[in-house]
Chain A
Amino acid sequence: MHRNIDRLGIALACCGGLFLVLPGCAQKAEVTGNRPTPAAAASPADPVGAGAIRGSVRIDGPVPKPRALKMTTDPACTAAHPEGFASQEVVADASGNLANVIVYVKEGLGNRTFDAPKTALELDQQGCVYVPHVVALMTGQPLRVKNSDRTLHNVHSASKNNREWNRSQTPGAPIIEEVFSHEELAIAMKCNVHPWMKSYVAVFQHPYFAVSGANGSFEIKNLPPGTYTIEAWHEKYGTLRQTVTLGAKEAKSLSFAFRPATGGN
C-alpha cells in the first residue's frame, strides 16, 4: 500500500511541476512597451483653410440617477467628502447633456503625421477621485499624475496597447510623469487601494479630439478640409459614429445622442 502512496506522491509532484511550467504558455503578453514611435516627416495641416467641428452630446432617454460611492474603507477619503460623492461614470445635467465623452476623428486624416505638444496634461488625485475623469492627449505628450490627497494611492495604468504600469504615490510624493507611444482608446487609470477610483486616458496620434464638458458641448478645432468619420466614445455607453465633410474654413455642427438601454445608435 505504501508503494502505491509513493507512486501517488510522485504523480502529484509531476503534476505540480507541469502545473508550474504551464502558466508561462497560458496567456500571451499584452505589454508592448513604450517604444518611441518611428520618426516620420510631419505634414501639418494647413492652418489657413482649417475649419472646426462643434457640437454636443446628450443622453437620449431618462438620465440615470447618480450613484453614491462608498469610501468608508479609508477615513481620509470619507473626510474629503462629508456629504458623499457620486460615481463619475455618467455625468449628465437634467437636460441629458453628457460630459466626459471623447469626440475624435476616427478616419479621414490619411497618412498625415503630427507633432505632439510639449505641454503636459495633469491628472490629479483629489479626495480619492481622479480629476479630471477623462483625459485625452497625443502620443508623446507627457501625462503628469499627482497626489493632492492626505492618503496614499497606487496609480495603475491598465493599458492594453501601451506598457502597463502600477506605481505607488504616497502623500507629497513626486509627480509621476509618463508618455504613451501608441494610440489607445481608452486606458483605464485605476487605484486598487480605492477600487472606486477610475479615470480614462485616451491617446491619439493626431490632435483632432475633444472631451465634452459639463454641458455636453465639444469643439474640434483646426481641422483641414476633408471628409471625416467622427466617433464619440463614452465609458459606459460605447461609441457612436457620424461622417462629415468639411470645406475650407467651414464650421460644422454635430450632435450625438446615446441611448442608455441599447448603447449607441
Chain B
Amino acid sequence: MSPRYHAGLHRYAIFVAVCTFLLLIAGALVTSNDAALSVPDWPLSYGTLTPPMVGGIVYEHSHRVIAATVGLFTIILAVWTWTAEERRWLRWLSLAALGAVIAQGILGGLTVMLNLHYGMPVAHACLAQIFFGTVVGIALFTSRWWITTQPQLTDIGSPSVHRLALFNAGVIFVQVIFGAGFRHRDIPIWPHVVGAFAVTATVTWTAIVLRRRFSASRQISRVRLLLHSIFGVQFVLGLAAWWSRLTTADAPQPMLRMIVLTVTHTVAGALTFACAVAVVLLCYRLVPRGGEAVEARRAEAALS
C-alpha cells in the first residue's frame, strides 16, 4: 500500500529547502566579507540579541538569525513528519535533519570560539551542504510523485546506475570539501582544481550513462539535464571566482566583485551537490537494483 500524500508537509519541506538555500547564501557572505570573527561571542552577539548592525556584524549576525530561524523550521518539519508520516525511515530522516541542523549550529559556535581553527569552518561549510541535501531529499520523499506508482526501468549496464550516481555525488562532495578547504585557507588551490576536472569527468560519465540507458525516462532526462546545466555554470563560476581572487588579492579589503563571484560559486556548489543527491534518489526510485529487479520479474510472471 502506498503511503498517504500530505500536500502541506511537502510544500513545507520545499519551503524549508528554500530557506536553507538562503541560509547558505548568508553563510557564504560571512566568509567572503571576512566577517566570521566580527562577533567574538556566541550564542549571543556582543552579549545581546540585537547588536549594532554595522560592518561585518551585519553579515555574521544576520547569518545567526537566519540559521536560528531555519533551525526552528527544521524542528517543525521533524515534528510534522514524525506525526503525519507513516514511513518510519522518513520520520527518522527528519530527525536526522534536525540533528544535523543542531550540530551545524554548534559547529558555527565552535568556529567562532576557536577562531576559525581545527578545521571548524570547513566542517561547518560541508555539514551545511549535507543538511541542504537532506532537506531537498525530504522534499522529494514527501512529493506526490515519489509515493505514486512509477514505471520501473531496467538497468543492464555496468557499473550499475545506482553505484555510478552515488560515486558522482561522492566526488562532488569531496570537491565541496576541497573548495571549503581552499576558501578557508586550510589547503592550497590545486586539490580543488584537480577536483574540478574529476567532477567534470564523473558528471559527464553519469550523464552519458543516464542518457544511453534511460533516454525514454522523462524524469531522469530532466534531472540529468539539470545536473549538467548547473555543473556547467558552476565550472564557469569557479573560473570567474578564481579570477576575482587573483585580481583583488592586493586589495586592502574584500572587494565587491570577489564577494559576488565567490558567494555565487559557493551556493552553486551546494545546488550541484543537491542535484547529484536528487539523481541518486531518482535512480533508486525508478530503477530497481539487481535483486529487486529479479523479484519484480518473478512477481510479474506469477501474476501473468
Contact = CB atoms under 8 A, between A and B. Distances in A.
Interface stretch (A16-24, A117-125, A212-220): A16-24
A73 B123 contact: no
Contacts of A166: 37, 40, 115
Give the residue among B119, B120, B285 with the most A Cβ atoms within 10 A. Answer: B119
Interface in B110-133: 115, 117-120, 122-123, 126-127, 130
* Contact residues on A (Cβ < 8 Å of other chain), bracket: 35 or more
B254 A195 contact: yes
Contacts of A89: 252
B54 interface: yes
B66 interface: no
A70 B253 contact: yes
A95 interface: no
Given A4-B289, A9-B92, A16-B130, A193 B55 contact: yes
Given A4-B292, A19-B130, A154-B38, A75 B119 contact: no
Given A154-B40, A167-B40, A195-B253, A6 B89 contact: yes
A154 B253 CA distance: 16
Interface in B268-289: 280, 284-285, 288-289
Contacts of A175: none
B46 A152 contact: yes
Contacts of B33: 195
B252 A87 contact: yes
B273 to A, nearest CB: 13
Q: Which of B52, B58, B92 has the most CB of A within 10 A?
A: B52
Interface string A151-166: 1101010100000111
A23 B119 contact: yes
A26 B186 contact: yes
Contacts of A20: 103, 123, 127
Contacts of A15: 130
Contact of B117 (A29, A77, A193, A195): A29
B40 A168 contact: yes
Nearest to B54: A74
A21 B58 CA distance: 31
B96 A13 contact: yes
A30 B280 CA distance: 40
Interface string B130-154: 1000100000010000000000000
Contacts, number: 127
Given A1-B288, A1-B292, A152-B52, A27 B252 contact: no
Nearest to A159: B115
B189 interface: no
A195 B34 contact: yes
Contact of B35 (A13, A22, A30, A195): A195
B177 to A, nearest CB: 9
Given A151-B52, A196-B253, A26 B103 contact: no
A193 B38 CA distance: 5
B38 A27 contact: no
Interface string B7-22: 0000000000000000
B87 interface: yes
Contacts of A67: 251-252
B36 interface: yes
A30 to B, nearest CB: 6
Interface string B281-301: 000110011001000000000
A124 B232 CA distance: 49
B87 A73 contact: no
A7 to B, nearest CB: 9
Contacts of A148: none
A158 B252 CA distance: 17
B280 to A, nearest CB: 7
Given A6-B89, A9-B93, A23 B35 contact: no
B191 interface: no
A106 B46 CA distance: 41
B96 A170 contact: no
Contacts of A193: 35, 38, 54-57
Q: Nearest 10 pairs between A and B by C-beta?
A: A26-B119, A23-B123, A192-B38, A87-B252, A193-B55, A23-B119, A196-B253, A74-B54, A192-B37, A193-B38
20 contacts: A1-B288, A1-B292, A2-B87, A5-B89, A8-B280, A15-B130, A19-B130, A23-B118, A27-B119, A30-B117, A70-B253, A74-B54, A151-B52, A192-B37, A192-B56, A193-B35, A193-B38, A193-B57, A194-B56, A195-B35
Given A23-B123, A193-B55, 9 more contacts: A1-B285, A16-B96, A16-B100, A16-B127, A26-B123, A31-B117, A75-B54, A166-B37, A195-B33
